[in-house]
Chain A
Amino acid sequence: MTHNKLHSVRRFPGRLRGWQGLAVVFGCGLLPVHGLNYTLGVSTEMAGATDVLLVDSEMFVRLRNDQREITVSLGAAEIDLEYRPPKVNILGRSEDLSESKQSGQLTWREGLDERMQWTFSCGGYQGFTDYRSLWLDEYYRQLFSTVAGYQTADVGGLNASIGGKYEYLKGSGLVTCSVGWQQDEVAPGYEKIIFGPLLRGEDNLATWRFGVGSEHVLSPRVRFKQDAAAIQSTARAWRYAYGAETAWALADAWTARLRLETAKEAEFHAGSAALLMERDWEGRWFAGLALRAYADNGQIIDPLLISGAAPPLDSYLLQLTLRYAGPHATWRLALGPYLTRYSQLTPGTARFAPLYQDRDWFAAQGAWAWRF
């Protein structure tokens, strides 16, 4: 270590106040102060329909210097759901459900100044991850909570991952690979056999994800990124996913971004396409229009079997976006309609009609970050 570098490690930056001081204390020993900067960010997202309201918020603190970056994020999400029992469940009752989820994540990136970078991440959450799980949990609770063998769900999970990124062509090309592990405690389904015991579904799911990816500059106007993953979860077939995204500078002030995604798991297929057209002013203000369409063939294999699996779905998103990127602050607002349309339910899934009903959502996103 050179004298200058050693000196810079020992010297704290000029005027540190309040949480900035705390941030430096947090990073002390991990992040030499040379070139150290901090980013504070918050983001929130909401989607509401007539019977569901979803809100997901996150805040993060990021400390970064020339060599490494450490990000700590905390999240809080809320699901408000008007549960209406299926008509076949004559003893069922309507309930207003409200569940919250808390989460935390630590991400460490090492070697920012080198061609080979490493990323380590770990985190966890407590609470329902989606409104479908909450609806099904209430459905089974109302049916079987008085039957021997029923257990109240205690949902949550942990995750950890490691990834590498190699820049094989400076500023123009890189490849990535990653391995991730996730353990989820979920609310299981139940099935009552006549004159038999109550069967409880799998509630502890382990997931492994193996990913590769690359990013390339194809020309002075086009940047391209792709990623592929093989995912294996307990008691499920392998899922294979692929995504490709292109950013294209159409003109000095116009940019188009196109993202295509596909996923396959046994007989299940899904695909989506998203296009964002954006106009910018001086590279500071950006206004855009985003369109996205998604389709899958459903997760039902036997249409006669009673199942909470999702029927085929088409969905459409239209969003207006407004963003600002300044020397210190960046923020984004996006809002617009989101439509979900299910195919006709099968005899086995007809009882889940209140869950798998067509919905007209209103979706909004907001994000803000400040770099010190």
Chain B
Amino acid sequence: MSLAVLAVASCTAVPAFQQQRLAKSNMVFDDTNAFAFSSRLLPQSEPGTGSTGAAQGGGCTACK
């Protein structure tokens, strides 16, 4: 929580002429381009990865 508040409070308006590094393709958070930092397969093994809420099937009647 403190990290989140600190980030908002620290946000600064960076002039366009200083945004050269920030505009590089690997500095942009974009889930749709080739620089996406994610995997569609890893969540199959890791029940705590992927916050989409997608339900894993094959549960059990007495699961947990």
Q: List chain A positions with a Cβ less than 8 A from chain B.
A: 41, 43, 45-47, 54, 56, 58, 62, 71, 77, 128-137, 153, 155, 157, 169-173, 180, 182, 184, 186-191, 199-202, 205, 207-209, 211, 214-221, 223-229, 231, 233-234, 239, 241, 243-245, 247, 249, 252, 255, 257, 259, 261, 263, 268-272, 274, 276, 278, 280, 283, 286, 294, 296, 299-302, 305-310, 313, 315, 317, 323, 325, 330-332, 338, 340, 359, 363, 365, 367-369
What A residues does B21 contact at CB under 8 A?
220-221, 249, 252
Contact A137 to B58, CB < 8 A, known contacts A217-B22, A270-B49, A365-B39: yes
Contact A307 B57 (CB under 8 A): no
What B residues does A71 contact at CB under 8 A?
32
Contact A233 B55 (CB under 8 A): yes
* Cα distance A187–B61 in the bound complex, in angstroms: 11
Residues facing A in B1-38 (CB within 8 A) are 3-4, 7-8, 10-14, 16, 18-19, 21-22, 24-29, 32-37
Contact A172 to B51, CB < 8 A, known contacts A308-B59, A315-B46, A317-B42: no
Contact A231 B41 (CB under 8 A): no
Residue among B4, B19, B26, B37 facing the most chain A CB atoms (10 A cut-off): B26
* Cα distance A280–B35 in the bound complex, in angstroms: 13
Contact B53 A130 (CB under 8 A): no
Contact A294 to B33, CB < 8 A, known contacts A217-B12, A307-B62: no
* Shortest Cβ-Cβ A-B pairs, 10 listed: A270-B48, A186-B57, A189-B60, A133-B58, A136-B58, A241-B51, A133-B57, A130-B44, A249-B21, A191-B61
Contact B7 A216 (CB under 8 A): yes
Contact B37 A259 (CB under 8 A): yes
Q: Which one, A43, A257, A313, contacts B46 given CB within 8 A?
A: A313
Q: Which one, B16, B19, B52, B64, contacts A307 given CB within 8 A?
A: B64
Contact B37 A201 (CB under 8 A): no
Contact B53 A307 (CB under 8 A): no
What A residues does B41 contact at CB under 8 A?
45-47, 54, 56, 363
Q: Which one, A129, A294, A338, contacts B48 given CB within 8 A?
A: A294
Question: Which chain B residue lies CB-closest to A131?
Answer: B44
Question: Which chain A residue lies CB-closest to B24?
Answer: A283
Question: Which chain B residue lies CB-closest to A260?
Answer: B3
Contact A325 to B59, CB < 8 A, known contacts A302-B64, A330-B34, A368-B34: no
What A residues does B14 contact at CB under 8 A?
171-172, 217, 219-220
* Cα distance A27–B7 in the bound complex, in angstroms: 39
Q: Which one, B10, B12, B57, B62, contacts A306 given CB within 8 A?
A: B62
Question: Which chain B residue lies CB-closest to A232?
Answer: B53
Contact A296 B37 (CB under 8 A): no
Query: How far in angstroms is the closest Cβ of chain A from B4?
Result: 6
Residue among A41, A132, A296 facing the most chain B CB atoms (10 A cut-off): A132
Contact B47 A310 (CB under 8 A): yes
What A residues does B4 contact at CB under 8 A?
214, 226, 228, 244
Q: Which one, A131, A132, A170, A263, contacts B13 given CB within 8 A?
A: A170
What B residues does A249 contact at CB under 8 A?
21-22, 24, 27
